[in-house]
């Protein structure tokens, strides 16, 4: 069985959160979803408008978005990107 087959779209955070919680296999399959910087920018332009922004964050040691420095290059876990988006959510109060 492919746990990613029934995965909701990544831009539907409430549905995705429910899907991840309902079965540990879902989270395990999703956790290994690694994206190179160009794909992060393409899929999540609201996070970083350019590959250069991501490179600047890394060069400054900015930890707002965790990354992996692997032999094949720099990668971001999709779960880390979604956690970053969730951490920026404003609930009540003034924006």
Q: What pTM did the predictor assign?
A: 0.66
**63, 37, 54, 73 alpha-carbon torsion, rounded to 10°:** 70
Q: Which residues of 8-34 are buried (b: 16+ CB within 10 A; e: fewer)?
A: eebeeeeebeebbeeeeebeebbeeeb
Checking if the pLDDT of 29 tops 70, the result is: no
Contacts of 44 (CB under 8 A, 6+ apart): 81, 85
CA dist 46 and 26 (Å) reads 25
Cα–Cα distance measured from residue 82 to residue 77, given in angstroms and rounded to the nearest whole number: 9
Can you give the pLDDT at residue 94?
66
Residue 95, pLDDT score: 57
What local confidence, expressed as pLDDT, does residue 4 receive?
Answer: 57
């Amino acid at each position: 069985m492919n746990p990613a087959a029934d995965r909701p779209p990544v831009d539907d955070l409430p549905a995705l959160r429910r899907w991840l919680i309902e079965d540990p296999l879902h989270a395990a399959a999703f956790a290994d979803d690694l994206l190179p910087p160009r794909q992060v920018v393409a899929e999540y332009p609201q996070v970083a408008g350019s590959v250069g922004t991501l490179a600047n964050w890394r060069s400054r040691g900015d930890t707002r978005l965790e990354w992996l420095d692997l032999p094949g290059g720099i990668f971001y876990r999709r779960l880390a990107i979604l956690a970053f988006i969730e951490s920026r959510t404003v609930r009540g109060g003034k924006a």
